[in-house]
Amino acid sequence: SLLKGISEPDGFLTTIDKLLSRQLLQARGFPKGPWRSVSTMFKAADLQIELSKHPKEKPDSSKLVFGKSFSDHMLTIEWSAEKGWDRPHIKPLQNLSLHPASSVLHYSIEVSNLLTVTMR
């Protein structure tokens, strides 16, 4: 059974890997492309780190407000249908580039409309 080896070293990752390969990759609409196992997808040695040249002063933790204070850095991992996941990259915080047809933009409008109707 899949859950049998979960307590062994790397058993959890192996179990997740098997579940993903059996279920998600066979699911309708799941992106097809190169597949690497979960346990080999990202390694610490692959991490690229680019530090900010202008780090901000660390704020007082008692005065932090959600959505107002941000880290100097962000983690990005590029993905393409040809190559799959690329190397993880920690880099200075910057704007994200989105295609105008990105579904997140369309869904955000729908959520906004739903909230407007709900609040009335």
Using the predicted structure, report yes or no on whether residue 55 has a pLDDT greater than 90.
yes
> Tokens standing for 73?
């850095």
The DSSP output letter for 63 is G
Residue 86 exposure: Cα atoms within 13 Å on the Cβ side: 11
Residues 6+ away with beta carbon under 8 Å from 55: 72
Would you state the pLDDT for residue 7?
A: 52
Average pLDDT over residues 84-102: 89
Q: Where are the domains of the chain?
A: 1-40, 42-119
Using the predicted structure, report yes or no on whether residue 50 has a pLDDT greater than 90.
yes
Please state, rounded to an integer, the average pLDDT across all residues of the chain. Answer: 74
Q: What is the pTM for the complete model shown? A: 0.53
Instruction: Given CATH 3.30.470.10, say whether it is the number of domain 42-119.
Output: yes
111 or 8: which leads in pLDDT: 111
Would you state the pLDDT for residue 84?
A: 84
> Tokens standing for 75?
């983690």
